[in-house]
Amino acid sequence: MNKKYYSEKLSANNLKRCYDLASPRIQQYLSAEIEYVLTFLKPESIVLELGCGYGRVLKHIAANSQEAYGIDTSAESLDLAEEYLSDNKNVKLFNMNADNLTFDENMFDVVFAIQNGLSAFKVDPLALVKECLKITKKGGKVLFSSYSDKIWDARLDWFKKQSKEWLIGAIDTEKTGEGTIVCKDGFQATTFSKSDFSDLSVDLEVNSYIKEIDQSSIFWIIYAD
């Protein structure tokens, strides 16, 4: 259900509409995530975004890197991204699953998925991170973000607005809580906590650290050794 949400129901203009509904606090959170990712880029960087959607984030990446790649499972979102990013000649888009990356090994300086991507993809996180590290250059970094519990109220309010616009199903208030938003049509928006990221680091035996930004995002930064 979740995978079809992002490839069909929450794709292209519907996805864009979700961001149009964002409150000032959510807009601040979204901007803070982008600004943090940009601190890892150099003008010569080759960067990959997992789950690029219609290009909301990739537009900023393209302006601050040599080459900006984006993948998504929604053909409709990628079509909109082609239009949205038409002025960015250094962008390359692919219809691809995040857990089956077909890029060359040691290709990218930075690989990232923000705005809770690791949860949204609904794939084995261990397998996904291994795929990302394989295509990242030695000395490069892989970045994932999740929601901080400090932004729960604003996040839930945002999802309620999306539900009222029929972009997602009706919120199941009895099952929603502790970082998870559940809709009555089966959609669930989960999160990864600091401890979840720490456990993954141990399981993968990777060199990494965790950083909270803006009291809204938890970032997991992994070194590609």
pLDDT for res 99? 87
- Please give the residue range of the domain that contains residue 126: 2-153+191-223
* Any domain includes 184: no
Instruction: Report the number of distinct structural domains present in the chain.
Output: 1
pTM (2 d.p.):
0.94
Q: Please say whether the beta carbons of 79 and 16 come within 8 A.
A: no
* Any domain includes 174: no
Q: Give the Cα separation of 53 and 40 in Å (integer).
A: 21
Q: What is the CATH number of the domain that holds 90?
A: 3.40.50.150
Q: Please say whether the beta carbons of 52 and 115 come within 8 A.
A: no
Map tokens 């035996």 to a residue: 205
What region, left, alpha or beta, does residue 40 occupy, with left being phi > 0 and alpha being psi -120 to 50 degrees?
Answer: alpha
* Any domain includes 73: yes
Low-confidence ranges of the chain (pLDDT < 70): 1-10
Q: Please say whether the beta carbons of 105 and 127 come within 8 A.
A: no
β-bridge partners, 220: 144, 210
* Any domain includes 167: no
Q: Is 13 exposed, middle or buried (0-12, 13-18, 19+ CB in 10 A)?
A: exposed
pLDDT in tens, 58-114: 999 999 999 999 999 999 999 999 999 999 999 999 999 998 999 999 999 999 999
* Any domain includes 186: no
pLDDT for res 1? 43
* Any domain includes 50: yes
pLDDT for res 12? 82
* Any domain includes 202: yes
Angle between the N-to-C axes of helices 12-20 and 75-84, in degrees from 0 to 180, rounded to the nearest 10: 70
* Any domain includes 173: no
Q: Give the Cα separation of 49 and 112 in Å (integer).
A: 5
Q: Which of 167, 61, 52 is nearest to 114 (CA)?
A: 52
